[in-house]
Amino acid sequence: MLPQTRDADTISSPIVDDNGFLKVEKSPPGVVNDIKLAFFLAVYDVRHRYARSIIGPFWITLQTAFFVGCIGFVFSAISAVSTRDFLPYFAISFVLWSFLSGTTNNSTTTLLDAGGFIKDRGLPAYVFFLQCFFRHLLFLAHNIAVPILLFVFLGGTTFFRVIAAIPGLVIFAGVTLCLSLVVGSLATRYRDVQPVVESLMNLAFLASPIMWKPDLLSGREFLLHYNPVVHLLAVWRDPMLNGVMPWGSFAISLMFLAVLASLAWYALTQLRNAPFWI
Amino acid sequence: MASISLENVTLDYPVFDLNDKSLKRRLLTVVGGQREKASVIRALHGIDLEIKAGERVGLYGPNGSGKTTLLRTIAGIFPISGGHINSTGHITPLLGLAIGANKEISAEDNIRLLLRVDGIKPTADVVDSIWDFTELKDKMRRLPLRTFSSGMLMRVLFSVSTAFSPEILLLDEWLSVVDKTFSKKAEQRMEDLVSRTKILVIASHNINMLERVCTRIVCLDEGRIISDEPVVAKPKVEEPLEAAVHDSAITSPGLS
- Does the beta-carbon distance from B193 to A21 stay under 8 Å? yes
Per-residue pLDDT tens for B48-72? 999 998 899 999 998 888 899 999 9
Per-residue pLDDT tens for A146-205? 999 999 999 888 999 999 999 999 999 999 999 999 999 999 999 999 999 999 999 999
Percentage of residues of chain A with pLDDT beyond 70 = 90
Per-residue pLDDT tens for A199-245? 999 999 999 999 998 888 877 888 888 899 999 999 999 999 999 99
Cross-chain CB nearest to B14 (options A14, A20, A276): A276
Supply the pLDDT for residue A49: 78
Residue B98, SS3 per DSSP: coil
Tell which of A18, A49, A121 to mutate to test the B interface (max B CBs under 10 Å). A121
Give residues with Cβ within 8 angstroms of B212, minimum separation 6.
Answer: B240, B243, B244, B247
Residue ranges of chain B whose pLDDT lies below 70: 33-38, 97-98, 233-256
Bridge pairing between strands B91-94 and B3-14: unpaired
Helix-helix angle B150-161:B107-117, to 10 degrees: 30
Task: Say yes or no: B23 contacts chain A, CB-CB below 8 A.
Answer: yes
Using a CB-CB distance cutoff of 8 angstroms, which residues of chain A are in contact with residue B172?
A: 120
Query: Taking 60 as the threshold, does the pLDDT of residue A6 lie above it?
Result: no
Phi and psi for B141 in degrees, rounded to 5?
A: -55, -40
Provide the shortest C-alpha distance from residue B142 to chain A (in Å): 12
Task: Say yes or no: B75 contacts chain A, CB-CB below 8 A.
Answer: yes
Burial grade of B141 (CB within 10 A; 0-12, 13-18, 19 or more): middle
CA-closest candidate to residue B161, choices A14, A12, A21? A21
Q: Taking a contact as any Cβ pair under 8 Å apart, which residues of chain B between 136 and 175 contact chain A?
A: 163-165, 172
Residue of A nearest to B15 (CA): A276
Query: For chain A, how big is the Rg over CA atoms in Å?
Result: 23
Whole-number Å distance between alpha carbons of B99 and B101 = 6
Whole-number Å distance between alpha carbons of B178 and A213 = 64
Provide the shortest C-alpha distance from residue B20 to chain A (in Å): 7
Per-residue pLDDT tens for B200-223? 999 998 888 888 889 999 999 988
Task: Say yes or no: B94 contacts chain A, CB-CB below 8 A.
Answer: yes
ipTM of the predicted assembly exceeds 0.85: no
